[in-house]
Amino acid sequence: MAIATVLVAQTPAGGPPRGAFKGAGKGKGPGRAAPQYRLEKGLPIDTRPETKTDDHSLWEGQTRAPYEPSIPYNVKLITDKLQQSWSIAFLPDGKMLVTEKPGNMRTVTQDGVVSEPLKGVPKVHFQGQVGLLDLALDKNFARNRRIFFTYSENVNDTDSHIVLDSATLNPAATEITDVKRLFGSMPALSNQRFGANQGGRIAVDRDGNLFIAIGDRAPTPPTDYGQQNATTIGKVLHLTPEGKPVAKNPFVGKAGYAPEVYSMGHRSPEGLAINPANGDLWETEHGPQGGDELNKIEAGKNYGWPVISHGIDYNNQPITEGIVEKAGMEQPRYYWNPVIAPSGLAFYQGNQFPAWKDSIFVGGLGGQLLDRLHMDYKTNKVIGEEPLLLEPGIRTRIRDVRFGPDGMIYVLTDTNSLLKITPK
């Protein structure tokens, strides 16, 4: 299969690059509501008025960091034959294992060959934002071929929850067997009233334990599940590979608290990743109207939802009391107002793109971009921002971003495509 390639560089005045492929699924450029970003060095890329008009940041650069142009790069279309793809993992043989929200896992080769759906995947509750979600390989995958995956499961005719399963991937990567239920979030809630903000991302730590991000499923106005100590929704959880609470979790043995909880006060987490340089855990989550967040997640901390928010509700009313800060609640290390609907995130790894050292890459759904955030890790603050993949024929909703074992950047889109970013 031929793979289309285009050299890309940010072109604030000169228009799109010549030869841009039109292969990114159904997307033929930005959608109807996609922002148009300003690409002027030193100025914020977003010129839209803030959704929360009385918002204020807590430090310079907490939002609207200056535009920082960097380098041209190549984009390859590996395939546009996926079906609502959601996450990607890299197998030792060079293939990629991909989940599709309707309930399929498939493998994809580097030259774009997409397999038939793997056998043995459990039935999922597929509706709107949910279905089959994230997947991750066991730390000892090369030996045990164990995988972990999350999905939405119906518990009766009306209610569902997010669950974590494990399974064994056969050597041919055509089937999963020995599927085991490790954990189910609680409470289960109505699919009709609580259908959004469900989370599902997985990150595997250095010890092989699992962080799982579970959304609060909040309607308008929001409930306070993220602040309820005994629930496991609106939380980041920390579990062993057997689905048990990690012994050092902050609330283990504390009466009235779910022992699986690592952090609380989360709305709609869509990205979760560990910085390979130091083991720190970071997360992206959707705000309502305004207030999308990038958070550094620490044990026992409260990230504020729905008590504090840099956004407003969908009915244009304040969230709770309309405040953006409160003692004892954590601020996002960066936030977007208006929203970009951040999705997967990845830390720069390797030596392929020296200009992108100390960068976090965040996918944008509504923003239709790959957002590069230049970090100062001494202060954990954003000092520069660069929107990537804006070109006509390429620009679309981005669902997941990962660095592959080859040091290249792989991007899954909501328009059925898998892209690969390589140096010029």
- Please give the single-letter amino acid code of residue 94: G
Q: Which CATH architecture has domain 5-423?
A: 6 Propeller (2.120)
Q: Is 141 helix (H, G, I), strand (E, B) or coil?
A: helix
Q: Give the separation between CA 209 and CA 140, rounded to whole angstroms.
A: 11
pLDDT by residue for the chain (424 residues), tens only, comes to: 334 555 554 443 333 333 344 433 344 445 567 899 999 999 999 999 999 999 999 999 999 999 999 999 999 999 999 999 999 999 999 999 999 999 999 999 999 999 999 999 999 999 999 999 999 999 999 999 999 999 999 999 999 999 999 999 999 999 999 999 999 999 999 999 999 999 999 999 999 999 999 999 999 999 999 999 999 999 999 999 999 999 999 999 999 999 999 999 999 999 999 999 999 999 999 999 999 999 999 999 999 999 999 999 999 999 999 999 999 999 999 999 999 999 999 999 889 999 999 999 999 999 999 999 999 999 999 999 999 999 999 999 999 999 999 999 999 999 999 999 999 9
User: Rounded to two decimals, what is the model's pTM?
Assistant: 0.94
What pLDDT, on a 0 to 100 scale, did the predictor assign at position 20? Answer: 40
Q: Give the separation between CA 44 and CA 58, rounded to whole angstroms.
A: 17
What pLDDT, on a 0 to 100 scale, did the predictor assign at position 33? Answer: 72
What pLDDT, on a 0 to 100 scale, did the predictor assign at position 350? Answer: 87
Which residue bears the tokens 């164990």?
Answer: 146
CA dihedral 7, 34, 99, 287 (to 10 degrees): 130
Q: Give the separation between CA 60 and CA 361, rounded to whole angstroms.
A: 21
Which residues are within 8 A (CB) of 215 and not within 5 positions of it... i.e. 6 or more apart?
Answer: 162, 196, 197, 198, 199, 200, 233, 234, 266, 267, 268, 269, 285
What pLDDT, on a 0 to 100 scale, did the predictor assign at position 6? Answer: 57
Which residues are within 8 A (CB) of 169 and not within 5 positions of it... i.e. 6 or more apart?
Answer: 91, 97, 118, 145, 146, 147, 175, 176
- Please give the single-letter amino acid code of residue 225: Y
Which residues are within 8 A (CB) of 421 and not within 5 positions of it... i.e. 6 or more apart?
Answer: 73, 74, 75, 76, 370, 388, 408, 409, 410, 411
Q: Is 17 helix (H, G, I), strand (E, B) or coil?
A: coil
What DSSP designation does 121 have? P
What pLDDT, on a 0 to 100 scale, did the predictor assign at position 22? Answer: 44
**Residue 234 contacts residue 303 (beta carbons within 8 Å):** no
Q: Give the separation between CA 243 and CA 241, rounded to whole angstroms.
A: 5
